[in-house]
A = this chain, B = another copy of it.
Amino acid sequence: MKGLVRGERSRRVLEAVILEYIKGGVPVGSRAIAKKYGLSVSPATIRNVMADLEELGLLYQPHTSAGRVPTELGLRVYIDAILKIQQLSVADREQIRQSYRGGVSRVEGLLQETSKVLSSFSKQAGVVLTPRLSHTVFKRIEFVRLRTSMVMTILVSQAGIVHNTVFEIKEDVSQEELDKYGRYLNDMLQDLALHQVKARLLEEMQKEKVLFDRLLSKALELSQKALQENIENSELYIGGRTNLLDNPEFADVEQMRRIFNAFEEKSKIIDLLDKSMSAGGVNIFIGSESELLDMESVSFITSPYASGDELLGTLGVIGPTRMDYSRIIPLVDYTAKLLSKMLEETF
């Protein structure tokens, strides 16, 4: 990829166009670059270089008499080969940490807060994918009898994630008995990864069948039911949607509607974030690179977060392809690490 742009000058021109475009959002002309980026060559020369870059597919002209705009490929090259990603400044980090003051007392709250932090520092939308239950480690299960034949199961993972399900059972069971089930299961499932729990339950059920212990087999059945669904699902927290309205390129309502539809639908974004979870490190999807979404001119910058060595979820920023990558990439990176640390320390 790097070889695509031969020559120091070409690279600097590409960079200049992109920086200028990110700043202004309008096509940038040869004049502006010659002036502001001290390349000490005339606009005419810049024009020649630009024409070359256009031929390579890195820039493009909305119409004959307009300046140049970077293409997706141009941005990709810029990010991969030109942009030097710096650390976030100490002041920025401090400010981010400050945003979490006030104490967050639930994982859900912490994640939601994080989506807000991401959005407010990026001036774009921030997203946080909640951990899949199935990826976490069992901590505790609890049954509560709501009323006749109605039982609520509460499942707590080691990472502090709480999940509840309500379902009907054939014959009524007293709370005392439910408590017994709980104690039995809590002992049995301690420290198991949740995706192993199901197998373990089945295995155990075989044994119990043989032993004809009604109490235990009932407990196993119940917990099976509770785990049946939903442990594969993730939630998605989205903060700062309205920031996107400030981007001039979304003034056109049609574009906006598509993004907000995706926010409403969520599943597509969840898929994308999910996919980029295992990739590790900061991931960047420029425009149509995120094939899932039929959204040109929207970019994702994502990074997974974890607690200890449990990969939990993904967070990121959604904005126009024209966003300040040099600021937001380190922001996403730092936020993911900070969140991981907080999760590890508290939960």
Contact = CB atoms under 8 A, between A and B. Distances in A.
Q: How large is the interface on A (under 10, 10 to 19, 20 to 34, 35 or more residues)?
A: 35 or more
Contacts of A160: 146, 152, 166
Contact of A264 (B164, B166, B240): B240
A233 to B, nearest CB: 10
Contacts of A346: 150, 166
A156 interface: yes
Interface string A147-163: 10010101010101010
B257 A105 contact: no
A273 to B, nearest CB: 20
A45 interface: no
Nearest to A262: B242
A167 interface: yes
B260 A241 contact: yes
Contacts of A154: 142, 154, 156, 162
Interface string A253-287: 10011001101100000000000000000000000
A346 B152 CA distance: 10
A144 interface: yes
A342 to B, nearest CB: 11
B229 A242 contact: no
Interface string A110-132: 00000000000000000000000
Contacts of A239: 264
A256 B264 contact: no
A344 to B, nearest CB: 10
Contact of A156 (B152, B167, B242): B152
Nearest to A158: B146
B106 A164 contact: yes
A106 B264 contact: no
A305 to B, nearest CB: 17
A158 B166 CA distance: 12
Contacts of A106: 164-166
B105 A165 contact: yes
Nearest to A226: B105
A257 B253 CA distance: 12
Nearest to A143: B140
A142 to B, nearest CB: 6
Most buried by B among A106, A166, A346: A166
A322 interface: no
30 contacts: A105-B165, A105-B166, A105-B229, A106-B165, A106-B166, A139-B146, A140-B144, A142-B142, A146-B158, A146-B160, A147-B347, A152-B156, A152-B160, A152-B162, A154-B154, A154-B162, A162-B162, A162-B164, A166-B346, A166-B347, A240-B264, A241-B263, A241-B264, A242-B257, A242-B260, A242-B261, A245-B253, A245-B256, A245-B257, A251-B253
Interface of A: 105-107, 139-140, 142, 144, 146-147, 150, 152, 154, 156, 158, 160, 162, 164-167, 229-230, 239-242, 245, 251, 253, 256-257, 260-261, 263-264, 346-347
Closest 9 A-B residue pairs measured CB to CB? A162-B164, A105-B165, A242-B260, A245-B257, A140-B144, A242-B261, A105-B166, A242-B264, A144-B156
